[in-house]
Every structure is written in structure tokens, then in C-alpha cells.
Amino acid sequence: MQETTSSPVLQRQENQNALSPEQKRELVQRVVNSELFRRSPALRAFLLYITERVISGRADELKEQSIGAEVLGRKPNYNPADDNIVRVRAHELRGRLEKYFTSEGANEAVVITMREAPTRRSSCPASPPICQKPS
């Protein structure tokens, strides 16, 4: 049985209340249209998928198996214990997001980060993105 992560969806922070769902989508579009993401369709699709689920209040749908099947082209019944593609891509996505917000996106007022999930195999390795103010 696949479970979602226990992390909160888009944690409430002072700048979170100021961003509308449309503004969050615009930020995600700027990220996926950047030079760093332009040539990585898998990471673009992964980020779009998870952020849309979070923004639309459907973060509970973020499961490793569904991401593998719906985003990364795995068969619907693939076994995440035998195929770590989602965990690998989540790691790549975290690194790419960090790089974007320290280069092309350095002037963004809000950043997107992805926390690592708990170590339970059944939980999605890429918890929902959290928009937070840069420190």
C-alpha cells in the first residue's frame, strides 16, 4: 500500500498567504521554462505534476507509484521497491531547484524547495514543494 508523506502541503508562512494559486503557477512556469529545466522534460513534468497537486489541494495523491506511472512512464503496476526512478528524479529535482534559485531565479521573491521524505519505503520520496521566502 502506498502512503503519502506526512509533511504539510505548502506550509503557511508569511509570504504564502500573499501568493494566490495563479501566482504559484506562474512561478512554477518560470522555473520550468528556465534554461536549467528546458532540456529536462522528465524534471519539468515531475515539478509540474507535484506542484499542481499541491496547489489544487490534492497533495494526498502524491505517491511514489503514481508519480512513476503518471509522470515517468512506468507501468501502472510497477514496484517502487524494485525501481527507484522516482527517488532518483526527486534527488535530481531538488538539486536543480536549488541551482535555479541561486542562478537564474536568484531575484525571485519566493523559492520552491522539496524536502526529502521520511525513510519509509511506502512513502513518496518527494514531499510536496514548499514555497518559502529566501533567507
DSSP string, 40-96: -HHHHHHHHHHHHHHHTT-GGG--HHHHHHHTS---TT--TTT--HHHHHHHHHHHH
pLDDT of residue 79: 92
Contact (Cβ atoms closer than 8 angstroms) between residue 44 and residue 32: yes
Sorted by sequence, the CB contacts under 8 Å of residue 19 that are 6+ apart come out as 27, 110, 131
Tens place of pLDDT for every residue, the chain, 135 residues? 333 332 223 333 344 456 889 999 999 999 999 999 999 999 999 999 999 998 999 988 889 999 999 999 999 899 999 999 999 999 999 999 999 999 999 999 888 888 776 544 434 444 446 555 555
At 111, list the grid cell: 523559492
Contact (Cβ atoms closer than 8 angstroms) between residue 69 and residue 75: yes
Contact (Cβ atoms closer than 8 angstroms) between residue 46 and residue 89: yes
Domain ranges of the chain: 21-132
Measured CA to CA, the distance from residue 27 to residue 12 in angstroms comes to 17
